[in-house]
Structure formats: structure tokens, C-alpha cells
Structure 1
């Protein structure tokens, strides 16, 4: 049997602009910060966060990778399954996200809502209904 630490799982890495000093948005909508490594100037190099067991990282832009602001568009959509779509959508909006699609029940058996975080990443918050 796999434990949480050795089970296969995704951990998306969301790129943020270089010289970003504040990622409080994520903790304001419910993420827990595990660690945050900073550069000599205090800007964020990489941080590990978790939402109800779903781990993700924010990382300063590196190599040929683009973050949504410099790419001038969506670079990926983070699909996050949660017990209460409406609650997390409301928390994200209050924390500074922009609603893209309100939480809606769909014929294919999902309740989904989408928001854009302050760094331009799209999040699809969802649950099976």
C-alpha cells in the first residue's frame, strides 16, 4: 500500500514572474505553504504549497519557460477537485482572483467553476456530482 509520500501524484509547477516578492494570494484562498526559498534580493525562487493534500509549486521563470503574463495568454489550466466548489471559488475571488466561469452543474456530471489567479494561471475548481 502506498503512503502519501510514495504514491504517484501530480505536483504542478506554476511559473511566476522573476522578482516576485509576494504570493500571499495562495494562502488567502486556502493553500498551506510548506516552504518558500528566496533569492538574495528576497524575491521568491520556489515555494511549495498544498490545498487539501494537493501539492503544487510556484517557481520563478527559468530557462525557456513562460509564465502567463509574459506569454500573453493561458499556459495551462490547473484542474483541482475539491469537496465544495462554491466555497473555494468564493475564497479565491475574495483573495484577488478573477472569475472566468461561475460554478455550474454540467450534464457530464461535474460541478465546475474557473478563475484566473493574480499571476494569470487558470484554475478549474471541480467535483463529481
Structure 2
């Protein structure tokens, strides 16, 4: 059987899976589309039409998955994400940074030229997840 031309490639490597607090999964998927140009591969919504069971997104050539929290399956509820930063290595850090800010992200570490050779900064999305954006320093 032939797959469609635009069919996603099988996943390999490491894929972040974000748990979104306060029934914000569908809003998070929409935020990631506005902020980071995410393209939705798949979305599955619970029977109640509100909670997101699963979403698979492509961002900048990679995959990320997310869902709402489901405390009835043993997880805690409304836990603030911490300890992980999702990094985006991009061609134009300023463009990606500004788009994320316009979508509602909040700066945590200002975007600036760094000693290691990247233009780099960190921000938080409206759901508490930390993202870093890095790209080449612009000449001149």
C-alpha cells in the first residue's frame, strides 16, 4: 500500500511529550501553531469534546506530542512543569522569538548574542513549559 506524499515519517529518536494543565491541551496545540509554526499531524479529543487525549505536532522539522492531564489515570493535576526546556535551533532566532512573544510567550532569559556563538534566549509558554530558541548570530 502506498502512503500519501505528505504522510509523517515514522518517529525515531526522542520526542518530547508535554502534559498540559487545566484542560489546556487544545489551546496549547493552537498556541504552538501560532508561536512556533507547528503543523498538526494528529489530534484525538475525548468524548466530552473538551480534553485532548493526544496531539502530534511537527515543529521545525521535529515532532512533539502533548495531551491534557488525566489525573484519573494516576497523574497529578495542575502541576506546574519544571526541570525541562524544549530547544528550537532555528535559522532566525529573532523571527521565532518575536512570533512566540506575539502569541503570548513570556521571556525568561532575554534573547541575545551568546559567547558560544548562538543568538539564544528562553521563554515560557502560557501553559508553563520552558522553551529555548537559538540560531546563528547575524553578521554586522
| TM-score for the superposition, normalised by structure 2 | 0.76
Match of residue 15 from structure 2: 11
- Taking the aligned partners of 1:6 and 1:38, their CA distance within structure 2 comes to 22
Say whether 1:60 aligns with 2:64.
no
Q: What are the within-5 Å matches in structure 2 for residues 49-88 of structure 1?
A: 49-62=57-70, 70-72=78-80, 74-88=82-96
Match of residue 96 from structure 1: 104
Larger Rg: 2
- Taking the aligned partners of 2:81 and 2:11, their CA distance within structure 1 comes to 33
Residues 15 and 66 of structure 1 are in contact (CA less than 8 Å); yes or no, is this contact kept in structure 2? no
Note the aligned Cα RMSD (angstroms).
2.3
Say whether 1:38 aligns with 2:42.
no
The answer to which of 72-81 and 93-102 deviates more is 72-81
Q: Tell me the SS of whatever aligns to 1:22.
A: helix
Unaligned runs of 5+ in 2: 1-7
Unaligned runs of 5+ in 1: none
| TM-score for the superposition, normalised by structure 1 | 0.82
Residues 23 and 69 of structure 2 are in contact (CA less than 8 Å); yes or no, is this contact kept in structure 1? no
Length, aligned pairs only: 124
Q: CA deviation at 1:123?
A: 0.1
Q: CA deviation at 1:78?
A: 0.6
Residues 91 and 136 of structure 2 are in contact (CA less than 8 Å); yes or no, is this contact kept in structure 1? no
